[in-house]
Amino acid sequence: MGGLGSDAAIEAADVVLMTDEPSKIAQAIHIARRTHGIARQNVTFAIGIKLAVLGLAACGLATMWLAVFADVGVTVLAVLNAMRALRSS
């Protein structure tokens, strides 16, 4: 395809192997599955905490500080959980 075709293929592709080692595909799949799992954990945790605080607020038991924790605190915890993906496995 030449130089221009290669650039177009790289920009259009979801995954690009930059080496001549097809065995890296297995490693990429492992990383993708692990990242997907961590993202699902974060979403489930965040929605669960926010629903719990919403339920408490409907009963009149939630304070403003609890709502702030449900928003900002859960975000910080999700970021810390996502940092696990930086570890090599």
Query: Cβ neighbours of residue 8 under 8 Å, at least 6 residues apart?
Result: 1
C-alpha separations of 9 from 1, 4, 6, 21, 55 in Å: 9, 9, 5, 18, 50
Instruction: Report the predicted TM-score, pTM, of the whole model to 2 decimal places.
Output: 0.74
pLDDT, residue 19, reads: 78
Q: How confident is the model at residue 4 (pLDDT cuts 50, 70, 90)?
A: low
pLDDT per position as a tens digit, 17-58? 777 888 888 888 998 999 999 999 999 999 999 999 999 999
